[in-house]
Amino acid sequence: MKKIGVFLITLLLVPALMSAKAKTGKSQTSASSASVPKIGFPFLLTSDPTMRAIVRNVKYECEAAGCELVTESWDFTPDALVTATQKLINEGCDGLILAAPSISGIPALIKICTNSKVPFVIPWRHIVDPAVKKMLDECPYFVGNTQEDDEQTAYNLLKSMTQKAGVKNVAVLGLTKGDVSGDMRDHGMQRAADEFNVKILTETRNFSTAADATRTVEGFVAAYPDIDGIFITGGAMTQGILQGTVKALDMHKKQGKVKIGMIDYTSGMDEEIDKGYLYMACGGNMVADPLFSCAMLLNTVKGAPLSDKPLWLKINFINLTSAQSSRDYFKYVEGDVPPYSSDEMKSMFFKFTNPDVTADSFAKVVTDYSLENVMTRHAAK
């Protein structure tokens, strides 16, 4: 990140930070500080390529905005998120990206951020409880939310599996019950199963390793000889879950006989598509979602909020059905080159660098996000 002289920072940031004070209620002492603003991001820090790409891209975005990203690892439980949030506030973070694992934990986050006068965003989460959504809408420190239509995506995936691939007997490798996205995916899958007469044979949840997936799928095949589909509701939940699943199917000579549908991407999908196992993977939101939430937060922290009320934005999933589209995704979205360059962020995301950016124009950027969109902007570079 470029070092800028204290004098220049003071000239540039004091008016913006004073404006931010009116929005966020932060103290005059904080507002007049010449230090680089800090964005706190509690996150599950692992060696998984997608998880690393998420942190790498949010860090890049913060640096493009002249801010610093501060991460705090946690175990994805509500209590751990509260602890991580308070720690980041104590470390002087000026804004927070909070991926709440459950709706029930959000009121505690609202209270902490309100008491500390720190603005925050919530990525990846549907807020399905009207009372909690009302609390967020009324919170002066809540900036916005980005989310995907998990239920409809799961419905569409199973519908396609049965109508186009002939799948009728499905076993499920699921996310933990109580996970907001996982529960909505379960609802969508069940709705499609009921509508199209697909039998849900069995389900297993809470995986730790790829070997767990292998043992589980071996059990599926042994108990249900007529199995012809596996629905993975969270491909990013365990590193190697897809490969562990395919290993079990290979051991029982199920190539061409069992199709896998998966939500959320993981590495190696192109190989499993080529083998004929992976029918479709729906995802692409893991990296983009927090980028869009972070953009809203950065505008507020830098004194140029996109709106005087919280923004609720929906991101479209990307459906991959070919090995080449999988390779393209990992090159253009999760590769070394970010899906949005620093210049594009300054032009399309940041109102504090481009006054023409509005809530509506930014919402269109979010709606336009797709693999084709990223490739069109970057393929010639």
Q: Is a pLDDT exceeding 80 seen at residue 328? A: yes
Confidence of residue 27 (pLDDT cuts 50, 70, 90): very low
pLDDT, position 34: 52
Tell me the per-residue pLDDT of 176-204, one tens digit each, with 9 for 90 and over. 888 888 899 999 999 999 999 999 999 99
Q: Say if CB 110 and CB 142 are below 8 A apart.
A: yes
Which residue reads 């481009």 in tokens?
A: 354
Based on the number of CB atoms within 10 Å of its own CB, is 34 exposed (0-12), middle (13-18) or buried (19 or more)?
A: middle
Confidence of residue 282 (pLDDT cuts 50, 70, 90): very high
Please report which helix (H) or strand (E) contains residue 88, including its range.
Answer: helix 78-90
**Cα(211)–Cα(255) distance, integer angstroms:** 19
Q: What CA–CA distances, in Å, run from 255 to 157, 239, 246?
A: 20, 22, 9
Q: Is a pLDDT exceeding 60 seen at residue 31? A: no
Q: Say if CB 82 and CB 112 are below 8 A apart.
A: yes
Please report which helix (H) or strand (E) contains residue 271, including its range.
Answer: helix 269-274
CATH architecture of the domain covering 6-148+287-319: 3-Layer(aba) Sandwich (3.40)
Tell me the per-residue pLDDT of 145-168, one tens digit each, with 9 for 90 and over. 999 999 999 999 999 999 999 999
Tell me the per-residue pLDDT of 45-67, one tens digit each, with 9 for 90 and over. 877 788 899 999 999 999 999 99
pLDDT, position 13: 33
Domain 150-283 = CATH 3.30.70.100: no
Q: What CA–CA distances, in Å, run from 357 to 139, 147, 178, 294, 351?
A: 24, 21, 37, 15, 5
pLDDT, position 381: 52
Q: Which residues contact 11 (CB under 8 A, 6 or more apart)?
A: none
Domain ranges of the chain: 6-148+287-319, 150-283
Pairing of strands 169-174, 199-205: parallel
- Name the nearest CA neighbour of 365 among 381, 376, 349: 349
Q: Is a pLDDT exceeding 90 seen at residue 349? A: yes
Confidence of residue 134 (pLDDT cuts 50, 70, 90): very high
The whole-number average pLDDT for the span 244-262 is 96
Same CATH topology for 6-148+287-319 and 150-283?
yes
Considering Cα of 339, then 343, then 345, then 347, what sign does the dihedral take?
A: negative
